Amino acid sequence: MKNKCAAIQMVSSPNISANLLTAGRLIEEAAKAGAKLVALPENFALMGDHELDKIKAQEMDGSGQIQDFLATVAKKQALWVIGGTIPITGDTDNKVRATCLIYNDQGERVARYDKIHLFDVNVPDTNEIYRESDSIEAGNTPLVIDSPFGRLGIAVCYDLRFPELFRNMSQQGAEILVIPSAFTAETGAAHWELLLRARAVENLCYVIAPNQGGLHLNGRRTYGHSMIIDPWGVVLDCYKTGSGFVCAQISHERLEEVRRTFPALHHRQLAFE
């Protein structure tokens, strides 16, 4: 069984309506290319001028402009949509969850993942400082769900640096890892492909990695290089910079072949909770 999947790359702005128009156009193009699952990048609907802009744009769980867009485009294009991240109202005042919502090809929401690891970092050799915990409250539950394409494991951006999260998803039977991101230009150049291919190889999974990719109106520069990787670590497609998408076949025959001929997942000796 083969299914074509796509990762959308954007250079999102502070204008939600404009971002949704761009996302809708790219999803339509990916659908015309044969994609049946499309993943959007982190912050696809809003890359604000300030960290706290997402507080103003937050939506209640189950209702809002961005959620309506995701449901509508999934149904219209008859494909599954992994909705990057959007700001969903949290439990703490003046904080939101960085939430990834998944919709099926009927436009029905089937799952929710809240980003677990928050990017509180001074980027080395730059003047860039990020404090996501100032505006985001962390999730605490990994997500693995069934889909027509296989078992999907969802993670977001900074989560990529924590292999124990991916091993947890592997133990839950994940076959495809979807990682919406907004990697900075500096950290992306150093580690993006390295980490993505490592997660694919060590878990013998496909990886679908949509990223933000360019110079944003707020002055931030993101790395791009959205890509799809097979379970042997082979990059099947990569989109370097600007708005666009990558598309590739997800082959269960290939997944099973790699896992059968190289059964590393069965050779683990140490298991940690």
Catalytic residues: 42, 115, 157
Instruction: Give the DSSP H/E element, type plus range, for residue 196.
Output: helix 193-203
One-letter amino acid of 139: G
What's the CA gap between 273 and 188, in Å, rounded?
A: 30
Say if residues 244 and 40 touch (Cβ distance below 8 Å). Answer: no
Alpha carbons within 13 angstroms on the beta-carbon side of residue 67 total 19
Crossing angle of helices 163-171/193-203, nearest 10°? 30
Q: What are phi and psi of 125, to 5 degrees?
A: 65, 20
What is the dihedral angle through the alpha carbons of 61, 67, 68, 70, rounded to the nearest 10 degrees? Answer: -150
